[in-house]
A and B are shown apart, each in its own frame.
Chain A
Amino acid sequence: MTGLLYEGADWTFDTIQRVHDEIERIAIGELGLDVYPNQIEVITSEQMLDAYAATGMPIYYSHWSFGKSFVQSEQAYRKGYSGLAYEIVINSSPCISYIMEGNTMTMQTLVIAHAAFGHNHFFKNNYTFRDWTDPNGILDYLVFARSFIASCEERYGVSAVEQVLDAAHALMAQGVNSARRRRRPDLRSEEVRERERRMNDERIYSELWRTLPQGAKPPAARDDSALLRKLLELPQENILYFLEKNAPKLQSWQREILRIVRLMAQYFYPQRLTKIMNEGAATFVHYEIMNRLHKTGRITDGAFLEFLASHTNVVMQPGFREPQFGGLNPYALGFAMMRDIQRACAAPDNEDRTWMPDIAGCGDPMGALRNIWANYRDESFILQYLSPKVIRDFRLFHVVDDPDEATLLVESIHDERGYARVRSALARSCELSHSEPLIEVHSVDLAGDRKLILRHKLLDRGFLDEGEARKVLRYVAMLWGYDVLLQEVDSDGRVVKEHVAANPA
C-alpha cells in the first residue's frame, strides 16, 4: 500500500489503526523488533495527571504519598511549569501505552513508534527487564495488591496500614537484590502463595500449644553466630526482604505489605538501570520509523517537520553553563550513541575500528543494536560503546570535586588522552551505587537486646544525610520492633559514624 496515511492534525481511530499497522510493518519487518502485543489507550489530560500520580500504573493501591505527588504535578501543570508527557508506557504484556487525546496525529504517530515499539521492544528483550520483572503477571498482581491493602485497611484500620506503607516506601531503594540474578519472578502465583501462607498459619495453629506450661528456657545456646548469620542470610542488602522474613514482631499482613512494596521496587528497578539505553533505543526507533515513513511518502513534509521540531526538543543537550542545564539528558546521549553505533556499523573510520572493533563495519546496524539492547545496561553500555566521536560531539569533560581542595580539578576532557577516562568516569556515574548509598543489614545481636545493625559503606567519604537517615531509621525500628543501629563504615572497615533509633514501642 502506498499513499499518505493521514493528512492534517486531527486524528481518528481509523488513522491511528492505519498508522499503527504501517509502523508495525516497518518495526517488525524492517527493523526486526520483537514486541509484546500492543494495547493503545486514548486518555484525556486529566487522566494523564492521574496516571502520573500513581507511578504511571493503571491500578495501584491507595496511599497519601500518591496524593501528594498528584497535587505537585497538578500544580506544576496548571501553572505551566511543566507540560505533560506525551505518553506513558507500561512494561506489561500486553504492553499498554497511553496516548493523549490532545495530541496531533503526527504526535500520535511519533508516540506509537516511540512507546509501542521502541520501549516495548526494549522491555521484552533487555536482560535486566527479563531478570527482574514479570510483565505477564504485573497487572494481575497490582489488582491483588490493591485489594489486599484495601482489605487490610478494613480489618486493621487505615492508619495502621499507612504506617507500614510509609516505612516500606522509605526503604524502597533498599528493597532490591541487585547482584544476585534471581529466577524470573512469577507475579501471577503471588496471590496464591499469599493464600497458602495464610492457610498454613491457620492449619498449624493449635489451641493446645497455648496451654503448655512455659517451662524454663533452654540453656543459653553456644556461640553459633556464624550459623545464625548463614540462616539469616547476612549480610543482606535487601533490607525490606530481611525485615519481611525476619522481623520478630510483624503480623503476617504486615509482612505481606512489605512484600508488595518490595516486589514493586523490584519491578521498577530495571528502569533505573537503563535510563539512557531505554530512552535512547526508543528515540532511535521513532527516528528511524518516522524517517522511513517520510521517505516512502506515507506522511507529508509538514508532518515530518512537525516531528523534527519535537524530536529536536527531546534530544537537546544544553551545555553545563546554560540556564536550562539539568544534567545529562538521557534521551540525547542515548540517541546519539545509537546513531553513532549505526554509523560505525555501516561506515566505520579508523577510530571506530580501534574503539568498537566488534561491531565496526559489520554491515548490520540493526542486528548490532538489537544485540546491544538485549545484553547491556547503562553502565556496561557506556563503558563499551561511548565512542570518541560522541565524547567530542557532547564536549564531555570530567571534573573531580575534592572537598579538601579549594578548587575543582578538570581530570580529563575530550582529547586523545581523555577519551578512555571520560568514558569510564561516565560509566561509573551510571552505577546506582554511585548515586545511592549502599546500605546493608550487617548483623543482629540475637544474644543480647536484638539490636539490628545496618552498615553504610562509605563511597568517597560521602556520609548520609543525618536528618533523613534518622527518620528512615525510626521506620526501620518500628518494623524491626527493637533498637536499630546504623554504622557508616569507611573502605578499611572502620566505623566512622553511628546513628541510633530506639524502638518506638
Chain B
Amino acid sequence: MNAATLFGLSGAALVGIGLYGFVTNPEPLRKILAFNLLGSGVFLVFGVVSRRAAASGLGGDPVPQAMVITAIVVAFAATAMAIALVLRLLQETGRSTLGADSPGDTDRVSGNS
C-alpha cells in the first residue's frame, strides 16, 4: 500500500464517520462538528488527487490544491454561520436544539406561526 492509497482510505473513513455522525446526531452542534469531520475527509481526498496527479518535477497538481483552499474557506464560513445561528437560538430560547420537532415532524411546524 503506497502513501496515496493510505491517505485515500483515511479520507474515505473520515467521510464515512462524518456522514454517520451528521445523520444520527440530532443536536445541531454535533451535526456541525460532524460536518467538519466530513469536510476534512473530502479535503484529504483532494490532497490525494493532487499528489497522485503530480507531474514530473512537481510535488503535486496545483489545481486541486487551489480548489481545496477555496473549499476550506467555504467550510470555515459555513461553520461560522451555523455556530452564529446556534448561539442566537440559544439566546432566544435558552436551548440550542431543534427541539422535539425533528425534521420529520411537519405537524408541529404547521401549528406555529
A binds B: no
Residues of A within 8 A of B (CB): none
Q: Which residues on B are within 8 Å of A, measured CB to CB? A: none
